């Protein structure tokens, strides 16, 4: 099993709290990815500024995609594998703003994410979720 998947599953049950990244205490979807990064690679590569729930939407700015592409390795969505980070566009034409980690591909695909109202959960990567995937990224394999 992927070390990333094991790390992500360790966050399951953490409550959803906007802007947090503290295993067991609270996190949002970005906080989950940040926490996994710290567990695998140590210190985060950049400080994350405060953000509102609607950040980047008014400007149509793909800030999360750009940040992910800076620190992770972008790869084709069709080649996603357990441990990869998937970026979702929640509505057609909106900026991509939700992140998750691929849990498994088969027999049924899943992903681990911090979801408002649910906390960190492992959800089926059902057709409604899969069609929202905008990009896929792999964590770096070497220390950064």
Q: In b/e form, how buried is each residue of 83-95, taking b as 16+ CB within 10 angstroms?
A: bbbbbbbeeeeeb
What integer pLDDT is reported at residue 143 of this predicted model? 43
* Domain boundaries of the chain, sorted by first residue: 3-138
Q: Is the pLDDT of residue 120 over 60?
A: yes
- Burial (0-12, 13-18, 19+ Cβ within 10 Å), 133: buried
Write down the pTM of the prediction. Answer: 0.93
What integer pLDDT is reported at residue 97 of this predicted model? 93
What mean pLDDT do residues 99-105 have? 97
What integer pLDDT is reported at residue 50 of this predicted model? 84
What integer pLDDT is reported at residue 56 of this predicted model? 73
Could you read off the pLDDT of 32-45 as tens digits, one per residue? 999 999 999 999 98
Superfamily of domain 3-138: endopeptidase domain like (from Nostoc punctiforme) (3.90.1720.10)
């Amino acid at each position: 099993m992927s070390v990333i998947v094991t790390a992500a599953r360790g966050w399951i049950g953490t409550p959803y709290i906007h802007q947090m990244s503290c295993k067991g205490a609270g996190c949002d979807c970005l906080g989950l990815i940040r926490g996994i990064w710290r567990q695998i690679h140590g210190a985060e590569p950049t400080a994350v500024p405060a953000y509102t729930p609607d950040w980047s939407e008014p400007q149509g700015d793909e800030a999360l995609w750009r940040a992910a592409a800076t620190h992770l390795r972008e790869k084709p969505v069709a080649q996603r594998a357990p441990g990869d980070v998937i970026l979702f566009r929640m509505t057609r034409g909106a900026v991509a703003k939700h992140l998750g980690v691929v849990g498994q591909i088969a027999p049924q695909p899943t992903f681990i994410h911090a979801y408002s109202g649910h906390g960190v959960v492992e959800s089926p990567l059902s057709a409604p979720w899969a069609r929202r995937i905008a990009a896929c990224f792999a964590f770096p394999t070497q220390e950064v």
